[in-house]
Chain A
Amino acid sequence: MTGLAVGTLRAASTPPATLPATGVEHVAWLLLVFPLAGAAILLLGGKRTNAWGHLVGVAMPVAAFCVGVAMFVQMLGQPASDRVRSMTIYQWVIVSRFRVPMGIRIDPLSICFVLLITGVGSLIHIFAVGYMSHDPERRRFFGYMNLFVAAMLLLVIANNYLGLYAGWEGVGLASYLLIGFWQYKPAAAVAAKKAFIANRVGDVGLSLAIMLMFTTFGSVTFSGVFHEAPKASHEVITAIGLLLLLGACGKSAQVPLQSWLLDAMEGPTPVSALIHAATMVTAGVYLIVRSGPIFNLSPGARLAVAIVGAVTLLFGAIIGCAKDDIKKALAGSTMSQIGYMMLAAGLGPAGYVFAIAHLLAHGFFKAGMFLGAGSVKHEMNDEVDMRRFGGLDKIMPVTFVTFLLGYLAIIGVPPLSGFFTKDPIIDAAFAKGGTSGALLGTAALLGAGITAFYMTRVMFMTFAGERRWEADQHPHEVPPVMTSPMVVLAIGSVAAGGFLILGNRLLNFLGPITGVPPTSHGIWTKAGLAALVLVAVGMVIAWALYGRRPVPATAPAGNPVTVAARKDLYGDAVNESLLMRPGQWLTRLSVFFDNKGIDALVNTVAATFGGTSGRMRRVENGFVRSYALSMLVGAVLLVGALLLVKL
């Protein structure tokens, strides 16, 4: 433990200097301008842009991706100590000491996210051209998607917390618009609102964290806060850390703010892939890793992050086991995988790099699987119940193979991505030592087994077995505009993890920012081997239940755990009984009190002074008179008083 703490301090005390932007970084603002322009053209242009709107919608994230790649290439040519670059576009808010620029920070961490957002984002935009081709509002869809990309990029490239917060709430808005894209469906409208409000609960935490930073350091820029953080008191740093964690819980759907993510699947599937799997929901992990210099100073805050991650990874995995809706099963899985990332981030410098590695790999395989799920849904007349799928492997071979690769990646079969990125997290959790390390590691280990179970279940129910469709469903393979993004993502699912971890590529790249793990246990660790055994067990159980015997078309009653998991482990029920119902009563009570209490009191007082209460209501005619009278009284008082003074 002591060794870890020393390593922690060393990592935190020597961050690379922040340098002015250079070369292509001077146009880093194009990252924001391209997608914003796309959103503006598509949303303001109206129906005129219907014919070609989707092309603009695709071109903008692709253009931003090109800018990102150019900056990445330039960064690779610089020495590690020169890779943190910052620039101010203009002064945003200046009041006395509160000086916040609209500023950009390009460093290894932000460039990772830029490439993920624009790269995976572009692929999903391409997929959506096909997926949304029959929707009369496709143009508006691309407008919102572009808006999302702009906000998400602002979130990761802002050089201060207020700018990050602007992007943070911006993605919340885009998510709201896109979950509710089919707003005429009441379920979609409710889900959209729920997501925004749950996010806002987290946002309170993030706002308060920013206020506390300003109060303590007089600054909200990353460089200002991080530089001074070691001087602040332990309590303040822990408070900032916990508030940031609350924000992260909202955006990343972590317990206790998890309940919105499953409902968010009401949005079109490309939205689920991009926003509710690959990028936006990982923003919480970004926030924690970005704020590493704060968390490094507070073991308590770090432990809280790790616990939230561990609880959520089990929570999401259990929910994933019981869902028959393919998108909700994947959503449970997303919660769970982000739980892994949070757990890793909660381990401090020992885990930051693995959190980001898993986040990037997850971006590929989860986006790929969501697109696969979207293809299936698209071909099955919008059916999402896996009990009505089956036997699609031969009919949709490309979808099947890409989904299969994503599946093997997420459960951590070597040598696919998940193996390289998830096992180090389990290992690092155990390496934390002590009771907490053992518990966190065990949770992560168990999670790996459950992941294998529910993902195998999804595979069997969807692609294997007999065909359980209705007569009017005629699935075919989807067109190339939809398969090609899936193929690219599948390649990423296979290779990304190994590429990032082998040769310590990501470690060397991010290390200067995030700190380096104190020890490396190599690729084959005890924890990793144990995980593989559990994965095999999970797969066998799933095969026994869903592969060996036919899947019933209607869900069996199930045991209490299954019932609870189907109900999202009572997340909504808890919210309803603890927050919604009391909230409704409070609202009703307040409205009643306002009408009958304060107002009645006022009216009574007025009536007492004014004579009868009847006069209050029928003063229309008499009123001018009484007004004139009051004015007269006022004037008399005034003049009288003035005369008195003169005398």
Chain B
Amino acid sequence: MDHFPWLTVAGAVPLVGALAIGFTPGRSAPGSAADRRARDQLVKYIALATSLVTLAVLAVMATQFNTSGPRFQFRQVYQWIPQFGVHYAVGVDGIALVLILMTAVLMPVVVLASWHDVDPDPDAAGVAVPGFETAPRKQRSAKSYFILMLVLETMMIGVFAATDVFLFYVFFEAMLVPMYFMIGSYGVGQRQYAAVKFLLYSLLGGLLMLVAVIALYVYSAHGSHPGTFLFSSLLRVSLSPTVQKWLFLGFFIAFAIKAPLWPFHTWLPDAATSAQPGAAVLLVGVLDKVGTFGMLRYCLELFPSAAHYFTPLIIVLAVVGVLYGAIVAIGQKDMKRLIAYTSVSHMGLITLGIFAMTSQGQAGATLYMVNHGFATGALFIIAGFLVARRGSQLIEDYGGVQKVAPLLAGLFLIAGLAGLSLPGLSTFVSEFLVLVGTFTRYEVAAALATTGIILAAIYILWMYQRTMHGPVKPELAKMRDLRPRELWAVGPLIALIIVLGVYPKPVLDIINPAVHSTLVHVHSPDPVPPHPAVTMQRIEITKRGGQA
């Protein structure tokens, strides 16, 4: 199994599934309404099965990952465009591995949560607020929706697995296409405006990155050596400080838009509000992480001196983002928009952890990327269940849900508590690591960011109070609690949120070596405490020795 092309296979499975869906009879094929429903069901089951197979492949792959082995594993390198030094090169370090696993876990969840995005939801019990569009007016094709989703999965795996900068760029840009259509064609509300905004923003960043990618190729050529896009070769290229700064900016702005980092964030609330909940999970849970992943992998390692140069500025932007996102979230009236702004705040924390350039900061940031995917995913999905029942995204249209749907309310609370980083839940470990890692270098920045935990309590609990507490709104009196499909969608996420909060060590064990290697590349050793405590065991031994 040593040379089994795990990553290529895992990336290909969703494509095969998409192809299979493509061969099923479409909406225009003859048949009754019942036939059409059956055909849609088939599409959904194929999508679900495909995402589960992908997850299984990647889970088996993860068991083969050797935490004390070389940094990049499951590597494959083939020439792709030899003239330009472009390779099909894939491989994962611990950071990419956990992000790919997170993507694979989210995918079946998203498929289940999106079950009724393209057809009327039987749970929507006719209490919709007039004038609000919860689903596209005309029935859309289930086929293309789930094909888009599976194709997107391939690209998401590819973007994390690529070890060739050009290949990374291709996936980075190509991801936009399926997401653009998922928002623009299948979304709700002002979906076209949101989709275009998302695309233009991302394209702008992408073009800047493209320039930087090409320049990097140019600079990598020296003497008789042709240029290259291979990450491993680029690490050995030495660039002048000025060049580093410009190329860093090219990459960084693209990633800052993607993440999004304040003040590049305004596309996200619109996109997440207009996307169906499942698409919003992929957008915020996975696509955003490509931005922070890119900062960690490419900005830091390819341009270490520029990274140090820009660190103060980025720390400031990150802290502003943490507080700004949280404050604006408090003022939101729309649930999905509120969750999107909390993500702006959390992505600020992740960026902060990355640029603190300490082991705790970066390991915390990486773990946060994973945990945030699950926690925000759960929040979006449960908010989606509410919207499907009530036909409104506005917080004020809810009230007293805990009384009529206690299970839904309970899971919403756990997801919300993960959003405010309650200890015992996964996000706490990552948030505390980020803050403590930042504190060892930048006390003031960390202290300011820490006050965000108060704001987080306000936005989460206030939303929870307004939707779940109080007297039951008459329109909600007959609201159903979660059904099995919905429980299967969100249950695994809640379980992971709890398990990773109590026992995060397996994930940290995977992440730690990769973070260590990153920090070695950027020449940033952890600050040494002025009065290091010896470990407890050693105190005990000396004490015992002293007494004896």
The stretch of B9-17, B27-35, B71-79, B439-447 in contact with A is B439-447
- CB–CB A208/B423 < 8 A: no
- CB–CB A207/B214 < 8 A: no
Quote the shortest CB–CB distance from B405 to chain A (angstroms): 13
Determine the chain B residues whose CB is within 8 A of the CB of A19 once the complex forms: 540, 544
Question: Is A29's CB within 8 Å of the partner chain B?
Answer: no
Chain A interface, DSSP helix/strand/loop, else mixed:
helix
Question: Is A637's CB within 8 Å of the partner chain B?
Answer: yes
For B323, the closest partner residue in chain A by CB is: A590
For B213, the closest partner residue in chain A by CB is: A638
Question: Is A465's CB within 8 Å of the partner chain B?
Answer: no
Quote the shortest CB–CB distance from B524 to chain A (angstroms): 12
Question: Is B144's CB within 8 Å of the partner chain A?
Answer: no
Question: Is A578's CB within 8 Å of the partner chain B?
Answer: no
The stretch of A213-221, A318-326, A452-460 in contact with B is A213-221
- CB–CB A193/B454 < 8 A: no
Question: Is A287's CB within 8 Å of the partner chain B?
Answer: no
Quote the shortest CB–CB distance from A404 to chain B (angstroms): 38
Give which listed residue, B192, B364, B439, B472, contacts A619 with CB less than 8 A: B192
- CB–CB A193/B461 < 8 A: yes
- CB–CB B533/A197 < 8 A: no
- CB–CB B529/A189 < 8 A: no
Docked Cα-Cα span, A609 to B531, in Å, equals 57
- CB–CB B400/A637 < 8 A: no
Within A556-599, the residues touching B (CB, 8 Å) are 586-588, 590-591, 594, 598-599
- CB–CB B533/A225 < 8 A: yes
Within A231-280, the residues touching B (CB, 8 Å) are 231-232
- CB–CB B436/A630 < 8 A: no
Question: Is A616's CB within 8 Å of the partner chain B?
Answer: yes
- CB–CB A642/B529 < 8 A: no
- CB–CB B424/A166 < 8 A: yes
Question: Is B246's CB within 8 Å of the partner chain A?
Answer: no
Within B66-122, the residues touching A (CB, 8 Å) are 83-84
Question: Is A546's CB within 8 Å of the partner chain B?
Answer: no
Docked Cα-Cα span, A210 to B437, in Å, equals 12
Quote the shortest CB–CB distance from A18 to chain B (angstroms): 6
Determine the chain A residues whose CB is within 8 A of the CB of B503 once the complex forms: 90, 92
Within A75-99, the residues touching B (CB, 8 Å) are 86, 90-99
- CB–CB B214/A216 < 8 A: no
For A210, the closest partner residue in chain B by CB is: B436
Give which listed residue, A168, A590, A620, contacts B184 with CB less than 8 A: A620
Question: Is B63's CB within 8 Å of the partner chain A?
Answer: no
Docked Cα-Cα span, A129 to B180, in Å, equals 57
- CB–CB B214/A591 < 8 A: no
- CB–CB A634/B436 < 8 A: no
Determine the chain A residues whose CB is within 8 A of the CB of B465 once the complex forms: 189-190, 192-193
For A233, the closest partner residue in chain B by CB is: B530
Instruction: Decide: A217 near B533, CB < 8 A? Known: A183-B470, A184-B403, A587-B331.
Output: yes
Determine the chain A residues whose CB is within 8 A of the CB of B422 once the complex forms: 169-170, 173
Interface string of B177-214 (1 = CB under 8 A from A): 10010001000000011001101110100110011001
For A623, the closest partner residue in chain B by CB is: B196
Determine the chain A residues whose CB is within 8 A of the CB of B435 once the complex forms: 207, 211
Docked Cα-Cα span, A617 to B200, in Å, equals 13
Determine the chain B residues whose CB is within 8 A of the CB of A232 once the complex forms: 530-531
- CB–CB B423/A96 < 8 A: no
Docked Cα-Cα span, A634 to B184, in Å, equals 22
Interface residue range, chain A: 35 or more
Determine the chain A residues whose CB is within 8 A of the CB of B470 once the complex forms: 183-184, 186, 189
Quote the shortest CB–CB distance from B409 to chain A (angstroms): 9
The stretch of A198-206, A394-402, A411-419, A481-489 in contact with B is A198-206
Docked Cα-Cα span, A616 to B200, in Å, equals 10
Quote the shortest CB–CB distance from B487 to chain A (angstroms): 12
Quote the shortest CB–CB distance from B535 to chain A (angstroms): 7
Within B382-428, the residues touching A (CB, 8 Å) are 400, 402-403, 410, 417, 422-424, 428
Give which listed residue, B206, B331, B439, contacts A591 with CB less than 8 A: B331
Quote the shortest CB–CB distance from B342 to chain A (angstroms): 14
Question: Is A70's CB within 8 Å of the partner chain B?
Answer: no
Instruction: Decide: A642 near B214, CB < 8 A? Known: A602-B266, A616-B193.
Output: yes
Determine the chain A residues whose CB is within 8 A of the CB of B332 once the complex forms: 591
- CB–CB A588/B331 < 8 A: yes
Determine the chain A residues whose CB is within 8 A of the CB of B331 once the complex forms: 587-588, 590-591
Contact sample, A vs B, 28 pairs, CB 8 Å cutoff: A19-B540, A90-B503, A94-B508, A95-B364, A95-B512, A96-B526, A97-B529, A159-B536, A166-B428, A176-B461, A184-B403, A186-B469, A204-B450, A204-B454, A207-B450, A207-B453, A208-B439, A211-B436, A219-B535, A587-B331, A588-B331, A591-B328, A594-B266, A616-B193, A616-B196, A641-B214, A645-B217, A645-B227
Residues of B within 8 A of A (CB): 83-84, 173, 177, 180, 184, 192-193, 196-197, 199-201, 203, 206-207, 210-211, 214, 217-218, 221, 227, 263, 266-267, 324, 327-328, 330-332, 359-360, 363-364, 400, 402-403, 410, 417, 422-424, 428-429, 432-433, 435-437, 439-440, 443, 446-447, 450-451, 453-454, 457-458, 461-462, 465, 468-472, 503-505, 508-509, 512, 515-516, 526-536, 539-540, 543-544, 547
4 shortest A-B CB distances, which residue pairs? A224-B533, A17-B543, A96-B359, A189-B469
Task: Give 16 A-B pairs besides A587-B331, A617-B192 with Cβ atoms closer than 8 angstroms.
Answer: A97-B529, A98-B436, A169-B424, A170-B422, A193-B461, A196-B461, A200-B454, A211-B446, A216-B531, A217-B533, A218-B532, A225-B533, A602-B201, A616-B196, A634-B203, A645-B227
